[in-house]
């Protein structure tokens, strides 16, 4: 296992798939309701993670942190400014903590999963790790249901990781 630069070859179907998935996400977030929204929500995020797994290459942890911290900090800052102004104009008390890092769970989850998959042992055993995550995700509702822990985003990692592993498997 060695991290080496690879020649980037553009695969057009991936660009089209991401374009369609982003369009569907925007339509749903803009107010689409009912069955069409439920159908799109069943597959659009898993499809993003499968594509991310398909495109995955191990990176050094420092490179991953730099690559992901910029969008996390940028979008968090925009969200924080917007909400602080909105709450100030409404005369509501301002709670900065509640507006830090919201709505970007997919970037945080992708970062955590890519950090894990960049560990050589996990990378070599990604199929087994993906299967264990499916089992854990299936059983966690029995152990964590109705507790405060279920609201923490790190509990999404075992649900995200199998989709990345599936994308890696498809690429193989």
Residue bearing the bigger pLDDT, 149 or 172: 172
pLDDT in the model for residue 120: 92
Round to whole Å and give the CA distance between 71 and 36: 29
Residue bearing the bigger pLDDT, 149 or 132: 132
SS3 5: coil
Q: Where does the pLDDT of residue 2 fall: very low under 50, low under 70, confident under 90, or very high at 90 and above?
A: low
For residues 137 and 163, the answer to whether their CB atoms sit within 8 Å is no
Q: What is the mean pLDDT of residues 118-144?
A: 86
Burial of 49 (0-12, 13-18, 19+ CB in 10 A): buried
* 163 pLDDT above the threshold of 70: yes
Q: Measure the CA dihedral 34/36/38/41, to 10°.
A: -140
Round to whole Å and give the CA distance between 133 and 130: 5
* 172 pLDDT above the threshold of 80: yes
pTM exceeding the 0.85 threshold for the entire prediction: no
In tens, the pLDDT along 83-107 reads: 888 888 888 887 777 777 666 778 8
**What b/e sequence results for 89-125 when a residue is b if at least 16 CB atoms lie within 10 Å of its CB, and e otherwise?**
eeeeeeeeeebebeebebbbbbbbbbbbbbeeebbee
pLDDT in the model for residue 104: 75
For residues 71 and 107, the answer to whether their CB atoms sit within 8 Å is yes
User: What average pLDDT is seen over the chain?
Assistant: 84
In tens, the pLDDT along 5-53 reads: 666 677 889 999 999 999 998 898 888 899 999 999 899 999 999 999 9
Round to whole Å and give the CA distance between 1 and 24: 37
CB atoms under 10 Å from CB of 128, counted, come to 11
* 149 pLDDT above the threshold of 60: no
pLDDT in the model for residue 131: 92
């Amino acid at each position: 296992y060695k991290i080496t630069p690879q020649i980037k070859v553009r695969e057009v179907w991936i660009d089209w798939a991401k374009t369609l998935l982003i369009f569907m996400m925007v339509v749903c977030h803009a107010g689409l309701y009912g069955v069409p929204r439920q159908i799109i929500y069943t597959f659009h995020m898993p499809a993003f993670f499968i594509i991310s797994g398909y495109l995955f290459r191990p990176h050094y942890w420092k490179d991953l942190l730099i690559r992901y911290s910029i969008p996390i900090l940028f979008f968090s800052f925009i969200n924080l400014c917007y909400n602080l102004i909105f709450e100030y104009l409404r005369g509501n008390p301002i709670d900065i903590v509640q507006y830090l890092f919201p709505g970007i769970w997919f970037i945080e989850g992708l970062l955590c999963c890519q950090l894990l998959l960049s560990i050589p042992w996990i990378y070599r055993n990604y199929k087994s790790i993906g299967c264990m995550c499916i089992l854990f995700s299936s059983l966690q509702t029995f152990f964590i249901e109705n507790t405060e822990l279920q609201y923490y985003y790190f509990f999404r990692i075992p649900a995200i990781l199998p989709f990345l592993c599936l994308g890696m498997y498809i690429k193989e």
